[in-house]
Amino acid sequence: MPLPHDFVFGTSTASYQIEGGVTAGGRGRSIWDDFCDRPGAIRDGSSGAVACDSYHRWDEDVDLLSGLGVDAYRFSIAWPRIQPTGSGSVNPAGLDFYDRGVDALCEAGIAPFVTLYHWDLPSALQAKGGWMTRETAERFGEYAAIVGERLADRVAMWLPVNEPVVVTLFGHALGLHAPGEARGFEALAAAHHLLLGHGLATRALRAAGVRVVGTANNHTPVHAASDADEDVAAAALYDTIHNRAFAEPILLGEYPNGMGEGMLGPVAEDLAIISEPLDAYGVNYYNPTTVGAPGSAAVVAASTTSPGEEPPIEIPEGIPFALVPVEAAERTAFGWPVVPEGLTELLVQLRERYGDRLPPIYITESGCSTHDVVEDGAVHDDARIRYLDAHLDAVADAIDAGVDVRGHFVWSLLDNFEWAEGYTQRFGLVRVGIGEGEERTPKDSYAWLRGRISQVRASS
Ligand code: FCB
């Protein structure tokens, strides 16, 4: 079945991954500037100091979006550009920068979708405890009000927090992302404050008169490594932590499996804020996950990595689940398994789990890193074309199965700073000569996507 003719096509980026200009226009420091300074934190020792230089090349990016024919662009606002220390006074140059950026998109007929937090927390807030404290959630609500008041009239959709699960697990439980804390299960406090921040921001945005508020949660369908009870239980626990712990407070106003019980603070009142009804639900999907119990027969049997597979993430002692490589015919340059039907499965599962409580879905991120072949100025990224084609078909299958999916955003418009992987993973529809003038070269997938979009439009 084809995608509906009014389906929204877009691409996604994030401020620290593309902007550069980290000292320009009065921007304050963020936890990612600090984390990149830690020896060994980033695979290639790089940082987002220049990245794609989109701070200075915003108009070029808008031209690329126009040439691609997308309806929408999802980008994030860097909190330390708006409030260099994360609270109090506003930096007018920062607000002006995004105001002009939003105008440029609107003039080009591209709907701005704005993420307020894609991981660049002002360092001054981290110094006071960051997301491990409620204060950060409260400051986040104030920041949302400032941005909302300025841009409410032109932004098509607001997504307060990107992937609170990844911030919690990678940033606070495992220490692989900024702020680099390895707290294990204690990190659940950060999860709660990120969710509270989402709720406070949602209220502040609505008070500022914005039209549409959603969220961008990372989801993965979870499968047990075998039918053994211990593997099934470990998989259910992982599903709770990765998926349900972030969807259910927002959609149902409760934590799954009594998870909220051990939490400090006014959890019941907080849940009322967190579950403020949304107009849209954003899903970021990359791949499914297979989970077993540490030391189970299936986990031991799967513990050797084959070539091309991403080496397993080291999970600290005492954590009651183990991640097992997912079987797949193809892998991305990252080693992530390519499983488009996992996206259909996930979307159908969300619909089954949450029914009418689930607002219309947008795929707010989907894409892959590739080993691009550059030849005579052209970039042949056939693997990305195959990936996107199959994942758009997977969305169409979910729509066919009755799930209300309204749009799809490719991660990413540009090759960019891929967090702890630095510039070693290229996710862009457009190649960027990082460190070589930041020139942009549309890849084969860019022309392919333009064609796919016109086909959908022509089918109406
Ligand atoms: C997601 C992030 C995004 C990008 C992709 C590859 O988890 O939201 O910034 O790094 O993964």
Give the model confidence (pLDDT) of 424-436 as tens digits.
999 999 999 999 9
Find the helix packing angle between 92-107 and 134-151, rounded to 10°: 50
Residue 32 lies in a domain: yes
312 has a pLDDT exceeding 70: no
Distance CA 371, CA 393 (A): 23
Give me ligand 1 centre to Cα 386, in Å: 20
Residue 309 included in any domain: no
Residue 365 annotated to the active site: yes
Does the residue 346 lie in any domain? yes
The Cα–Cα gap between 347 and 403 comes to: 7
Percent of the chain with pLDDT over 90: 92
Contact 18, 428 (CB under 8 A): no
Which of 163, 248, 418, 438 is the catalytic position?
163
Residue-range definition of the domain harbouring residue 379: 8-225+241-288+322-458
Instruction: Taking residues 291-318, report their average pLDDT.
Output: 78
Compute, in angstroms, the gap from residue 179 CA to the centroid of ligand 1: 16
| 447-459 pLDDT tens trace | 999 999 999 999 8
Residue 255 lies in a domain: yes
Res. 314: pLDDT tops 80: no
Say if 174 falls within a structural domain.
yes
Closest ligand 1 atom, CA of 17? 9
Concerning whether 163 is annotated as a catalytic residue, the answer is yes
Q: In the predicted model, is pLDDT for residue 43 greater than 70?
A: yes
Strands (DSSP E) contained in 22-71 are none
pTM: 0.97
The domain that holds 278 is classified in CATH as 3.20.20.80
Query: Has residue 298 been placed in a domain?
Result: no
Pocket probe mutation, ligand 1, options 418, 424, 429, max atoms within 8 Å of Cβ = 418
Residue 418, in any domain of the structure: yes
- Which of 19, 181, 365, 438 is catalytic? The answer is 365
Q: Does 170 fall in a domain?
A: yes
pLDDT at position 303 over 80: no
Amino acid at 460: S
Count of the separate structural domains present in the chain: 1
